[in-house]
A and B are shown apart, each in its own frame.
Chain A
Amino acid sequence: MRNLFLFLREHYFYFLFLLLESFSLILLFNYNEFQGSSLYSVSNAVSGSFNNMFTGISEYFSLRKTNRVLVEELAKLHSRIPEAFYTTDVNIFYKKDSIVKLEYKYISAQVISNSTNKRNNFLMINKGSLHGIVNHMGVIIGNKIVGQVVSVSPHFSWIMSMLNKDSRISGKFKKNNQLVNVEWNGGNYRKGQVKEIPKHVLIKKRDTIITSGNSDIFPEGLLIGTIADFSDVQDENFNNGEIFFSTDFNSLGYVEVVVDMMRKEKDDLKASFKQP
C-alpha cells in the first residue's frame, strides 16, 4: 500500500494528465447529453448574455443594412395583405378554415453568434423555450434555409448550421422533383455537396435545388441553392454535384424559426403504425 502511494506520488504528473484529459474528452463527447446539466446551462447562459452584449455593440455598424432589409420585407408583406388584391369574387371571404388550416408559424429571432469558419458551425439566437421553440425546428432566412434547432434554454436557442458535418438536408430538383441529399464537406462556406442524384436525371448547371419537405424540419419549396458543378462517374449508381448555397451564412442578421403546427399529428401518425 505504501509502495502504491509512493508510486502514485512519483508519477502523479502522468496520472493527473490522464485524469484531466479524459475528463475533457468525456465533456466533449457527451456534449449533446449535457443539455440538461448545470454545466451546459451555465455555458449557454454565459455565452448567451455575453454574445448579446457583443451583438448589441456591433449592431450599430449594420443599422443601414438592417434598415434596407426591413424596408424590403415591409414592401413584400404589404404586397401580400388582402387589401393589396383586387377582389373579383366576394365568395373567397366565406371560405372557412377547415380547408385552409395554418400549418406553419414563424418566430423571428436575432442571430447573436454565428460562425462559418469551423468544420462544425453553430448559431445562437435570442429566442428560446419561453417563445415556444423546441428541438428539431427548422431555421430559415427569407425563403432560404439556415439550419435546425439542436438545443434550447429559456431565452436562447443553439442552432446547428447547414455548415456542419452532421447536417444532411433532404432536397429535390425544382424542375422534376427528383430527391437528393445536401451536405457540407467543410472549406468554402458558399458551396456544399449534392449526394445521391440518380443516374437518369439530367443535370444542368444552375438547376435549382429546393427543400423536399420530407424531413419534417423544413416546409417544402425553400431554396437551398443552385448546381454549380457535377461529376458523371461511370461505375457508380449515383452522380454527385456541387451546390452553390443561396444563403449567405456569413451575413445572417434576423432569422425565422419554423413552427410546424401539425408536427404532433405527423409524429403520432408515424408512431401509430406498427410494423406487421
Chain B
Amino acid sequence: MTSRTVFFNILRFFFLVFFQVLILSHINLGGYINPYFYIYFILLLPFDIPGWLLLVASFFLGLSIDIFTNTIGLNAAACVMMAFFRPFVISAISSGPESLIGDTPTLRNQGVKWFLYYSIILVLVHHASFFYLEIFRIKEFAATFVRMLLSSAFTMVLVLISEYLLYPRGK
C-alpha cells in the first residue's frame, strides 16, 4: 500500500458515509428497496491490505453509518461479516495471487466476469446479514428475502455505474 492509496481510501470512506446518510438513506423505491452503496468502500480496498485493518476499517465504516441512523451495531455487524468473507471470495474466484492485476479490485483490472462474481457475492453477504439481523424473525423469511434481493440488485447497479464512471475502459 502506498500512502497515495491510503489517502484515497480515507477520502472514499468519508465521501461514501456522507453520500449514504445524506442521500441514499432517504431513497426507498416502492417502500421496499434501499440501496446500501457505502459498502463500495470495502469492495475497493487494496488486495494487500492486512487482515486486521480490513476488519477494523469495515467495523468503523459500519459503526459510522449506525451512528447517523441510530441502529448501533446493525451495519457494523453486517460490514464485519462482509469483510471476513472478502479474502476467501478473492482466493476462490482467482486462479492465484499472480493473476490479480493492479492493487485494487476494479472492473477494468480484473475483467467483468471476475468483478461481477466478486461484488455480487459480497453484496449478498452484507445484505443478507443486514436484513436478517434487522428483522431477527424466521416468520417473515420470504418477505425479507425478496427485500434483500431487490436491495442487493439496486446496490449492484450503483456499484457498476460507479465502476464505469470512475474506471472507464481504455483510459
Closest residue on chain B to residue A190 by CB atoms: B31
Within 8 Å of chain B (Cβ to Cβ): is A247? no
Within 8 Å of chain B (Cβ to Cβ): is A24? yes
Given contacts A13-B55, A20-B59, A46-B67, contact A117 B28 (CB under 8 A): yes
Contact with B73, one of A24, A54, A117 (Cβ below 8 angstroms): A24
Contact yes or no, A119 B84, CB < 8 A: no
Contact yes or no, B67 A20, CB < 8 A: no
Cα A12 to Cα B54 with chains together (Å) = 12
Contact yes or no, B34 A43, CB < 8 A: no
**A42-81 with Cβ < 8 A to chain B:** 42-44, 46-47, 50, 54
Contact yes or no, B62 A24, CB < 8 A: yes
**Interfacial chain A residues near B140, Cβ < 8 Å:** 119, 185-186
Contact yes or no, A20 B55, CB < 8 A: yes
Given contacts A17-B84, A21-B77, contact A124 B59 (CB under 8 A): no
Contact yes or no, B77 A25, CB < 8 A: yes
Within 8 Å of chain A (Cβ to Cβ): is B68? yes
**B59-92 with Cβ < 8 A to chain A:** 59, 62-63, 66-74, 76-77, 80-81, 83-84, 87
Describe A's contact surface by its main secondary structure: helix
Contact yes or no, A28 B144, CB < 8 A: no
Q: How many residues of A contact B (CB 8 A)?
A: 40
Closest residue on chain A to residue B29 by CB atoms: A117
Closest residue on chain B to residue A29 by CB atoms: B73
Contact yes or no, A165 B137, CB < 8 A: yes
Contact yes or no, A13 B67, CB < 8 A: no
Within 8 Å of chain B (Cβ to Cβ): is A116? yes
Closest residue on chain A to residue B75 by CB atoms: A24
12 A–B contact pairs at CB < 8 A? A13-B51, A13-B52, A17-B80, A24-B59, A25-B73, A27-B73, A34-B72, A50-B21, A118-B134, A119-B135, A119-B144, A187-B32
Binding site for B on A (CB under 8 A): 12-13, 16-17, 20-21, 23-29, 31, 34, 39-40, 42-44, 46-47, 50, 54, 113, 115-120, 122, 124, 158, 165, 185-189
